[in-house]
Amino acid sequence: MARVVLGVGAGIAAYKVCELLRLLREAEHRVCVVPTPDALRFVGAPTWEALSGEPVSTDVWTQVQDVPHVRIGQSAELVIVAPATADLLARAATGMASDLLSAALLTARCPVVFAPAMHTEMWEHPATRSNVAVLRERGAIVLDPASGRLTGADTGVGRLPDPTEIFTAAEGVLAHPEPDLAERHVVVSAGGTREELDPVRYIGNWSTGMQGYALARAAAARGAQVTVVAANVTLPDPAGARVARVVSARELHAAMLEEAATADAIVMTAAVADYRPASRSESKIKKDGRTPEPIALAENPDILADLSARRAKPGQIVVGFAAETDPDPEVASAKLKRKGCDLLVVNPVGNGLGFGATDNEAVILGADQTRTTVPRGTKDSLAHVVWDLVAERLK
C-alpha cells in the first residue's frame, strides 16, 4: 500500500479520474485527492471525498496548522496528475505555487506521473512541448495522450489515456521508482500481421498484442519515450505511447525500419507471418464446384534479422520474441544467433499461456550467453524483466 496524491486538473476528462481513483483504492493505496479550484466545476468535492475516504481541499488556507502545501508533497510516495491540462503542465514546469496542487508538486520528492488531456492544438503547441520536455528532463513521467474523440465534435491526439492504463503505469512506477529508461526512445511492435487473400480473407495468427502493450506501458512507467507499431490490435492504446498502425508484414517492416532510426532499443513482440499470398484477388474467391487452386506463397522479409543487421545507431539494443509450442533450448540458441539480436525471449504458447492469455512465462537468452528464466506470471511482470535486461545493456 502506498500513499498516493491524485491531482485533478480542470478538464472535462476529470470525470474519468473517478475510475482511476476507484482502481487505486481497490489496490489498497491510500489516496489524497487534490483538485485545482476550477476542477471542482467538473467533479465536486463530495464525490472525491466519498471515493477516497479523505477530506478534499484546493487551497493552502484550510487546516493551516498542518501546513498542507508542504506536508502533502513530503508524505507522498507517488503523485499522479490527471487530467494534466496545458495550464497545469505550464505551472508545474515554471515552478508556480498558486494553489494547493502546484505547491504540493514543488515539495514532492517522489515519482510524479502526468497524464495529459487537452485539445490537439494545445498539446502540439510549442509552449506545451517545451513544458513537457522540461518536466521529463527533471525526471517526471509525462505520458503521451491518447487519440480519439475530444470535447465536442473534435477528434485527434489529446484524449486522456484510459484510466486502467494510467493505473497500470502508476503501479509500474511504484515498482520501479527510478526512471532507468528516461531520455531513451524505445520501439515496440505488437499484435499479428494479416496477409490478404482477397477483400474478405487473410492469412493471420492469434496474437492480440497484449504482451507488446504490456512492454509499452512498462517502458513508459520507467521514463521512456515509447512508440508502438501495432499490427491489427484492438486494445486501448497503452498510456504514454505513440501508436502507429499497420496491417501486413511488409507494412510492419517499413514502419519498424523508419522508427528504428532514432531508437535506443527495439522489441519485436509482433507475430509476423513468414509468408504471404503471392497474389491477391481483387474480388472475393468463390466456390465454383471445382477443386480450388493451390495458394502460391511468397516469403516475407525477416524483420528481426533486418533490424539487427541494420542498426541505426551504436549501442542500439534489439530484442526478439519467439513463441513456441515446444521450446527447445538448442533450437532457441540457434535462432538467437541467426537473428543477430541481443536478447531472445522464448515463450511457450498453449495451456493458458501466450496469445490472448493474461499470463506468460519465458526463458530470455542473451547474445552474451546469459540465460534468464521468468516463471509464470502476468505479462506486465515479464515486460519489466525484459526492460531490466535492456536497461543493463544500455548502460
360 part of the active site: no
Distance CA 241, CA 248 (A): 21
Per annotation, catalytic residue among 205, 232, 300, 351: 205
Distance CA 240, CA 130 (A): 17
**Beta partners for residue 187, in sequence order:** 227, 266
Determine how many CB atoms are found less than 10 A away from the CB of residue 305: 16
Distance CA 334, CA 323 (A): 15
| Residue 92: closest CA among 80, 104, 105 | 105
Would you say 343 and 366 are in contact if contact means Cβ atoms under 8 Å apart? yes
| Residue 27: closest CA among 161, 166, 140 | 166
Concatenate the DSSP letters of all residues of 42-106 into one string: TS-HHHHHHHHSS----STTTTGGG-HHHHHHHH-SEEEEEEE-HHHHHHHHHT--SSHHHHHHH
Would you say 184 and 394 are in contact if contact means Cβ atoms under 8 Å apart? yes
C-beta contacts of 19-22 below 8 A and 24+ residues apart: 19/163, 19/164, 20/80, 20/82, 20/163, 20/166, 20/167, 21/48, 21/51, 21/52, 22/51
- Whole-number Cα distances in Å, 65 to 68, 71, 79, 131, 260: 8, 11, 23, 33, 54
What is the 8-class DSSP label of residue 282?
S
Q: Is 129 exposed, middle or buried (0-12, 13-18, 19+ CB in 10 A)?
A: exposed
For residue 269, give the H/E element and its range: none
Q: Strand ranges (DSSP E) for 253-327?
A: 265-268, 275-277, 297-299, 317-324
3-state secondary structure of 175: helix
3-state secondary structure of 336: helix
| Residue 74: closest CA among 26, 113, 110 | 110
Q: Which residues are tagged catalytic?
A: 205
